[in-house]
């Protein structure tokens, strides 16, 4: 095994977050690149002796070159569709160019890129798949050999494709679908994808080559839905294909029924109209492994969901850096006054005891008070095109920086001390919700819940003041309910306190 590390870009994403622990287990040294240092540090593999954490951005050529220096190979697992759904084509184009320059400047021996499967010559190829091919062309145009793995639908707990299928089949006994429901597809299990990725480090003959990767069977999307229903113990769904349901309309329907927003669902739905099957299987002889069929893959994914052991999720990609106004205070360029509302309560408990219900907030636990109002807010946001309540949360008790928490994103976690959340719902401004715990003395803890809001324009200010009575009622009630969930006596409060100094 080489002494030099392997660079993994997109380390906190769905594939990268699973590839890194597999490489570490196999004995490789890894340099994990991500935009947020805090998000990297929150990953379960962050403390492994053979991993190096590198905070950087593929759009920042200097930071990318710095991260690649000293590595012998690099995995390019970056896709901007989640983080930048409107401009992902140009963003991915620039990022790929930066990777080519960084690889050459740092002396990488090879690049491994995971993209999409489809006919490159197809004039009807979706913009999403066309962009994936463009990235491959850019990477393979450089002096460092780039291996391009073309994958069809990736199935696994937490993948966007699996989550769309899971929610559609779970929630809809009757499905009105586009005609593409009968298109052929060759799904591949995420475990097999990881096997091929690792294998590209171990077989020199794959350098600079392009390979199709898929599972052992070709099925239709309709058949996949039937298999899922059987494995989930559901009656077979009635599927009615109609010619008038376009990818755009399909994306809106997916947006309403599943946690995947329309901005992401649309390019995925457009790609479903293209048959995606392997045109060749050369890689099976070079990197042999047991390929899981669709039924076994879906069964395994469902087991992980039911056991709440989803390692990574499509929602992992998202903003995990606090807005500038939160760091710099109410600076002139921030655009206005930061509005603040906070309540405090004192409990007969230790910080660790109070932290337990806070760490479970959201998802199936809910928000402890006014749960129906939180749900209505989520549905209202969904109708406006926002993220809504998404899929709840990744894990019922474990929480880490970068996690999606209903319509919030975790910015900071200090167990027993602090939880800071950034709102990702549609708002006329930017909002932060924070829980802070402070030990007063032995047996007493102060819990402060604080909301901060930077309004955008007059409507932002009106919005804040219109909801102020609701916020006051809910926040006070939440603190009481958290005390009840902790099973601890309230010594003082809840009481309103002034703005943060």
CATH number of the domain that 393 lies in?
Answer: 3.30.530.20
Domain contains 1: no
What is the structure's pLDDT at 331? 41
Domain contains 319: no
Beta-strand (E) ranges in 205-361? 210-213, 219-220, 238-241, 339-347
Q: Are residues 301 and 361 in the same domain?
A: no
CATH assignment of the domain containing 22: 3.40.50.720
Instruction: Return the structure tokens found at 216.
Output: 């052992």
* Whole-angstrom distance, CA of residue 266 vs CA of residue 159: 16
- Do residues 396 and 382 make contact, with C-beta atoms less than 8 angstroms apart? no
Cα 353 to chain centroid distance, Å, stands at 30
Domain contains 428: yes
Q: Are residues 248 and 216 in the same domain?
A: yes
Query: The tokens 């807005």 sit on which residue?
Result: 323
Instruction: Return the structure tokens found at 206.
Output: 């794959």
Q: Are residues 65 and 157 in the same domain?
A: yes
Cα 162 to chain centroid distance, Å, stands at 13
- Containing structural domain, residue 390: 325-497
Total length of the chain: 501
Q: Are residues 199 and 127 in the same domain?
A: yes
* Whole-angstrom distance, CA of residue 495 vs CA of residue 461: 24
Domain contains 217: yes
Would you call 357 helix, strand, or coil by DSSP?
A: helix
**Which of the listed residues 280, 314, 348 is the one where a domain comes to its end?**
314
Domain contains 47: yes
Q: Are residues 427 and 486 in the same domain?
A: yes
What is the structure's pLDDT at 346? 96
Q: pLDDT by residue for the chain (501 residues), tens digit each?
A: 789 999 999 998 889 999 999 999 999 999 999 988 888 888 889 999 999 999 999 999 999 999 999 999 999 998 865 555 566 788 889 999 999 999 999 999 999 999 988 666 666 677 777 888 889 999 999 999 999 999 988 999 888 888 888 888 988 899 888 777 888 899 999 999 999 999 999 999 999 999 999 999 999 999 999 999 999 999 999 988 887 667 677 777 777 777 777 677 776 776 677 778 898 999 999 999 999 999 999 999 998 887 666 677 766 665 555 666 665 544 433 445 789 999 999 999 999 999 999 999 988 888 999 888 888 888 888 888 787 776 678 788 888 888 888 889 898 999 999 999 999 888 999 999 999 999 999 889 999 999 999 998 889 899 999 999 989 999 999 999 999 999 999 999 899 998 775
Q: Which helix (H) or strand (E) holds 224?
A: helix 221-231
pTM for the full predicted model: 0.79
For the chain, percent helix, then strand, then coil, each to nearest 5?
Answer: 40, 20, 40
End-to-end CA distance of the chain: 53
The total of structural domains in the chain comes to 2
Q: Are residues 341 and 235 in the same domain?
A: no
* Whole-angstrom distance, CA of residue 95 vs CA of residue 9: 11
* Whole-angstrom distance, CA of residue 117 vs CA of residue 277: 7
HSE, side-chain direction, 13 A CA sphere, residue 346: 11
Q: Are residues 277 and 251 in the same domain?
A: yes
Q: Are residues 212 and 174 in the same domain?
A: yes
Rg of the chain over all Cα atoms, to the nearest angstrom: 24
* Whole-angstrom distance, CA of residue 23 vs CA of residue 11: 12
What is the structure's pLDDT at 333? 39
**Which of the listed residues 288, 314, 340 is the one where a domain comes to its end?**
314
Domain contains 277: yes
Domain contains 134: yes
Q: Are residues 28 and 77 in the same domain?
A: yes
Burial class (CB in 10 A: 0-12, 13-18, 19+), 327: exposed
* Whole-angstrom distance, CA of residue 80 vs CA of residue 184: 27
Q: Are residues 257 and 176 in the same domain?
A: yes
Q: Are residues 150 and 287 in the same domain?
A: yes
Burial class (CB in 10 A: 0-12, 13-18, 19+), 3: exposed
Asked if residue 343 has a cis previous peptide bond (ω within 30° of 0), the answer is no
> Of the candidates 75, 90, 79, which has an alpha carbon nearest to the alpha carbon of residue 33?
75
């Amino acid at each position: 095994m080489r002494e030099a590390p392997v660079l993994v870009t997109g380390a906190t994403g769905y594939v990268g977050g699973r590839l890194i622990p597999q490489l570490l287990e196999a004995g490789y040294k890894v340099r994990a690149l991500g935009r947020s240092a805090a998000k990297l540090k929150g990953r379960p593999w962050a403390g492994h002796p053979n991993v190096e954490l590198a905070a950087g951005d593929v759009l920042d050529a200097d930071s990318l070159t710095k991260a690649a220096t000293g590595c012998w190979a690099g995995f390019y697992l970056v896709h901007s569709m989640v983080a930048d759904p409107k401009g992902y084509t140009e963003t991915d184009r620039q990022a790929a160019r930066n990777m080519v320059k960084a690889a050459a400047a740092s002396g990488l021996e090879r690049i491994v890129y995971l993209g999409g499967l489809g006919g490159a010559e197809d004039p009807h190829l979706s913009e999403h798949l066309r962009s994936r091919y463009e990235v491959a062309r850019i990477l393979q145009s450089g002096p460092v050999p780039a291996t391009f793995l073309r994958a069809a639908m990736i199935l696994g707990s937490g993948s966007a494709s699996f989550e769309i299928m899971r929610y559609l089949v779970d929630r809809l006994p009757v499905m009105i679908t586009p005609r593409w429901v009968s298109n052929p597809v060759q799904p591949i299990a995420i475990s097999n994808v990881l096997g091929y990725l690792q294998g590209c480090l171990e077989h020199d003959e794959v350098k600079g080559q392009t390979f199709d990767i898929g599972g052992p069977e070709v099925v239709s999307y309709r058949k996949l839905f039937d298999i899922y229903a059987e494995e989930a113990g559901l009656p077979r769904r009635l599927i009615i294909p109609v010619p008038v349901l376009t990818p755009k309309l399909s994306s809106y329907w997916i947006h309403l029924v599943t946690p995947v927003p329309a901005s992401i669902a649309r390019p995925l739905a457009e790609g479903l109209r293209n048959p995606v099957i392997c045109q060749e299987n050369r890689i099976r002889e070079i990197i042999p492994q047991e390929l899981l069929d669709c039924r076994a893959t879906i069964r395994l994914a469902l087991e992980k969901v039911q056991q709440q052991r989803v390692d990574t999720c499509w929602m992992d990609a998202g903003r995990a850096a606090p807005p500038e106004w939160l760091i710099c205070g109410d600076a002139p360029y921030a655009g206005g006054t930061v509005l603040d509302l906070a309540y405090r309560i004192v409990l007969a408990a230790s910080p660790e005891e109070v932290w337990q219900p806070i760490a479970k907030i959201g998802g199936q636990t809910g928000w402890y008070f006014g749960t129906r109002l939180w749900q209505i807010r989520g549905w209202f946001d969904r109708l406006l095109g926002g993220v809504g309540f998404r899929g709840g949360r990744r894990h019922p008790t474990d929480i880490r920086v970068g996690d999606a928490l209903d319509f919030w994103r975790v910015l900071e976690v200090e167990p027993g001390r602090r939880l800071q959340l950034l709102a990702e719902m549609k708002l006329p401004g930017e909002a932060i919700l924070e829980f802070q715990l402070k030990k007063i003395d032995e047996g007493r803890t102060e819990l402060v819940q604080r909301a901060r809001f930077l309004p955008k324009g007059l409507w932002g200010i009106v919005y804040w003041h219109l909801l102020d009575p609701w916020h006051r009622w809910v926040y006070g009630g939440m603190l009481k309910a958290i005390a009840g969930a902790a099973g601890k006596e309230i010594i003082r409060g809840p009481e309103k306190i002034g703005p943060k100094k």
